[in-house]
């Protein structure tokens, strides 16, 4: 598929993740919005791809875990993000567990973050983390979209702190819709907070 056709497809999916808007007349008002997204995606979005996760990626994920602002957004994090031994033990299990789907996110060939697909609260779920230097460029959205194309389990769920607007937006752009609210103790915040549960399929 050509670059422009791909951008058009992404723009349509983004403008209407549920598919309802796919009949946009490209010459009309809705079409203008789609064209703007097309241009933005072609010229601004970096090249995002997924590859198998390897142990060599872990030091980068650990550095990302040390980012306090990111931890606050994610909220439900490791008890002590600086505890390297606990991090290594957790990730050794993740890497060794075949039922956990995992992918390293690359941006222009550099490791930018990760996506995991695993059972959470008894449901197939996804979660992700992107390094701060890559935020705000559509990276999580492109990576999650690609991941969901590979992991066909539906329905599939995701949880986000109710104030993690960026993550909720990413999920929305990938077609997730809110299905529940929950409360849980957010280690990174030291308090119980509200969570949004979102569902795809």
Q: How far is the CB of 35 from ligand COA (least distance, A)?
A: 16
Q: Which is nearer to ligand COA, 96 or 149 (CB)?
A: 149
Q: Which is nearer to ligand COA, 36 or 89 (CB)?
A: 36
Q: How far is the CB of 76 from ligand COA (least distance, A)?
A: 8
Q: How far is the CB of 179 from ligand COA (least distance, A)?
A: 15
Distance CA 170, CA 4 (A): 22
Q: Which is nearer to ligand COA, 54 or 65 (CB)?
A: 65
Identify whether the C-beta of residue 189 lies closer than 8 Å to the C-beta of residue 74: no
Q: How far is the CB of 168 from ligand COA (least distance, A)?
A: 8
**Residues at the interface with ligand COA (CB under 6 A):** 70, 73-74, 127-130, 134-141, 160, 164-167, 169-170
Distance CA 37, CA 198 (A): 24
Distance CA 187, CA 80 (A): 9
Q: Which is nearer to ligand COA, 27 or 180 (CB)?
A: 180
Identify whether the C-beta of residue 192 lies closer than 8 Å to the C-beta of residue 184: yes
> Sign (positive/negative) of CA torsion 115, 119, 124, 127?
negative
The continuous run of DSSP H or E covering 85 comes out as helix 84-96
């Amino acid at each position: 598929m050509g670059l422009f056709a791909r951008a058009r497809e992404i723009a349509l999916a983004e403008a209407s993740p549920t598919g309802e808007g796919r009949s946009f007349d490209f010459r009309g008002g809705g079409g203008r919005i789609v064209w703007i997204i097309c241009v933005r995606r072609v010229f601004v979005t970096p090249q995002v791809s997924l590859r198998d996760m390897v142990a060599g990626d872990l030091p980068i994920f650990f550095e990302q875990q040390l980012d306090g602002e990111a931890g606050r957004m994610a909220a439900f994090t490791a008890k002590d993000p600086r505890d390297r031994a606990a991090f290594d033990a957790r990730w050794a299990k993740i890497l060794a567990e075949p039922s956990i789907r995992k992918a390293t996110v690359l941006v222009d060939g550099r490791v930018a973050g990760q996506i995991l697909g695993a059972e959470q609260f008894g449901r197939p779920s996804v979660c992700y983390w992107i390094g701060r230097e890559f935020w705000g460029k559509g990276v999580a959205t492109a990576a999650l979209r690609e991941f969901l194309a590979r992991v066909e389990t539906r329905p599939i769920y995701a949880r986000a702190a109710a104030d993690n607007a960026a993550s909720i937006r990413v999920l929305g752009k990938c077609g997730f819709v809110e299905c529940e609210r929950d409360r849980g103790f957010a280690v990174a915040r030291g308090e119980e907070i509200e969570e949004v549960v979102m569902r795809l399929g």
